[in-house]
Structure 1
């Protein structure tokens, strides 16, 4: 990255602000930067260093309040960044507007006004700008608008000159997608490492067993215990903490179901052992457990949206859209969520797939490697085994989005009026 003050263009400023607000410290967090920053050259035709673009990725075009912030994310913020403690137990939704040098002055006042307008939905808003460009007038205006001010120095240091108060807003659909990605169930940078729901249903049973969880799971169900635990957490069956893993309310219900069906946790795990390496649809091999899997998978936040929109396509006469067609259709209705769920988050993929305005480039959607494996492979396979969709998922390197079909196994005919 550039170090001279005059080289603090908007992308450089934003990259440094992102690093300050979203350090890689293991906290439950997620942030995206607006798609305009994915281009190779900035507005003044200056080249955006590849290292800067990598630091800014992933990209998406997310509407918050009255417009599209340069950065939007969710994270618990350090005390030195906020004027008062945050509200409630949920991490705040953060919006950032960055301003930098581009052959002239730095329009800090406009950045403050833009950041203030994001507070219609964001909980916290910041202006990030070069230190030398921030005046006392700017700081006074920011205080009046409840906008934080991050001063970026040429050496990379970022200081909070003004600290905002957290406001308690409910977020709209687009921002909710970012909250989803920051949650334990988000797919960003993570993976449903296994593609059969039985491996995840078995994990609560192994937790409830009187022997060591990982040992009994490896012996009876699947050796990839870390992947099984992660998937069980995505499906809200367990809560994974640094020193222990506990059952959620849904996980306890899985255990109760196993007790009712089999008489004991041990006997239930015996049944799972018999299903090892079975490639048949789970809901047909084990109908009752398959119904339980269907309820658990349907409770996953992404599933209801996928099913609802597949049904809408069916109602319109499109019974088995290809993956490419489905993503294009879904993006028209839920653009932010579609990008987060289906497209890989690395800078190269989203830079090719999205225009500055967040529109999809259709030709990129024909490339299987552009897609997020946890969705097109593992999640789709689970939907298949639970009896929700008609076909299995495919790994991205084997995926042809022009042939891969997304269709409901059982669709519902429109109700006649």
Structure 2
């Protein structure tokens, strides 16, 4: 492969593979700007499908003064960073890519300046470019501005040419959305597989029970033990570790609630058996557990966003927006979070729903299959059972986004 073949999409794909090698890694998540989702990069230069697959998922994320080519969160290896570190959280990373164009020119210094502009909100910023095109003057500028330089070899190997120090900074709404996806509560690849909150509330009780957790849960509550454990982790009730599961403070509070009401978690789980296969709203058949569900769901970051914006729409005379109307409104105010929360992360969906500038193609929102099931089905169903929303969720293949209503069961009226 000649150096001139290293276009910006290819440079970025190699850089992403180096800094974010495992899409399923815990506490890691990255998105690439929507301009790279297009079939063609230049007029006569198609982007290979394999390159787009490596770059996906796509989103248009503002960090600092603009939109970096890649934004991600991950604990990076020591050879990618200088020794300075800020806190224990994995850093928010921004990458600007530069590659060969028709005239064989690579403006690495411009990439350094662009990366530097991201340091208002990113913890570390890099420019990635063909190694042969990185000049000494570009390296000197990068050192002065605390920007990392990643040299991409012809065969795809990525070499850290300059390494940045990690810096602390403030975080915007867009950057917060990417950080959220990198946490145990993010909805990027997996989250809620079950649509009744009792299955998640029971998990900390089963952990506290002296019997075997999986056996107790499977017998008393639900056979889908793995799904219950995953959802309990996403709701912040448990923390999964390599060889054990620990209760979080919120999970411990669920156990205390059960002990106060029933005297033992065994007696509480016996009550859960009575709710198996029930189709009734949870807050109606078990009001106190419904209130606890409401408290737990309110700790989940997506709930706050959904409820606050539905309340605002109610005040603006839109008390029962459809899913299409809700997502369109939400995207105007919180574009990155909306895309990450509601839309599937596949190349096909993101490239259909978002144009190169990250704007919504509203017509595509009418197809239920573009939506993320854990949000429009499972999370919505749980909000229904908690008494927050008026309607259950629907699976994407059965979803009519133009009639699927998102409305608060108890909106506040400030007209008096």
Please give the alpha-carbon distance, in whole angstroms, between the structure 1 residues aligned to 2:102 and 2:7. 9
Report the aligned-residue RMSD. Answer: 0.9
- Which region of structure 1 is more displaced relative to structure 2, 79-88 or 307-316? 79-88
Q: CA deviation at 1:85?
A: 4.3
Distance in 2, matches of 1:248 and 1:65, equals 34
- C-alpha separation in 2, matches of 1:303 and 1:362: 23
Q: Could you tell me how far apart the structure 1 residues matched to 2:26 and 2:148 are? A: 21
* Distance in 2 (alpha carbons) for counterparts of 1:238 and 1:169: 30
Name the structure 2 match of 1:202: 202
Per-residue deviation, 1:353: 0.4
Decide whether the 8 Å contact of 1:262 with 1:268 is kept in 2: yes
Show structure 2 runs of 5+ residues with no match.
Answer: none
Per the alignment, residue 135 of structure 1 pairs with: 135
Normalising by structure 1, we get a TM-score of 0.98
Q: Is the 8 A contact 1:27 1:76 kept in 2?
A: no
Distance 2:167 2:209 in 1: 44
Residues in 1 aligned to 2:256 and 2:397: alpha-carbon distance in whole angstroms: 40
- Equivalents in 1 of 2:52, 2:353: separation in Å? 15
Residues in 2 aligned to 1:26 and 1:71: alpha-carbon distance in whole angstroms: 17
CA separation of 1:320 and 1:181: change in aligned 2, threshold 3 A: same
Partner residue in 1 for 2:268: 268
Structure 2 distance, partners of 1:45, 1:383, is 49
| Counterpart for residue 231 of structure 1 | 231
Q: How many residues align?
A: 414
Residue of structure 2 in register with 1:15 after alignment: 13
Tell me, yes or no, if structure 1 residue 334 matches structure 2 residue 349.
no
Unaligned runs of 5+ in 1: none
Distance 2:128 2:159 in 1: 10
Counterparts of residues 397-412 of structure 1 (less than 5 Å) = 397-412=397-412
TM-score by length of 2: 0.98
Q: How does 1:24-43 map to 2 (within 5 A)?
A: 24=22, 26-43=25-42
Q: Aligned ranges for residues 2-401 of structure 1 at < 5 Å?
A: 3-24=1-22, 26-104=25-103, 105-401=105-401
Question: Is the 2:19–2:76 Cα contact (8 Å) retained in structure 1?
Answer: yes
2:31/2:55 contact within 8 Å kept: yes
Query: 1:26, CA displacement in angstroms?
Result: 2.5
Separation of aligned partners in 2, 1:40 and 1:85: 40
State whether residues 205 and 254 of structure 2, in contact with CA within 8 Å, keep that contact through their aligned partners in structure 1: yes
- Are residues 414 and 45 of structure 1, via their aligned partners in 2, closer, same or farther at CA, if it must alter by over 3 Å? farther
**Pairwise CA distance, 1:87:** 1.4
SS in 1 for 2:357: coil
Whole-Å separation in 2 of the counterparts to 1:169 and 1:244? 34
1:9 CA displacement: 0.2
Q: Classify the secondary structure of the residue corresponding to 2:42.
A: coil
What corresponds to 1:414 in structure 2? 414
**Are the equivalent residues in 2 in contact too, given 1:290–1:385 (CA < 8 A)?**
yes
CA distance in 2 between partners of 1:27 and 1:78 (Å): 15
Task: Tell me which stretches of 4 or more aligned residues in structure 1 moved more than 2 Å.
Answer: none
Q: State how far apart, in whole Å, the 2-side matches of 1:369 and 1:26 are.
A: 26
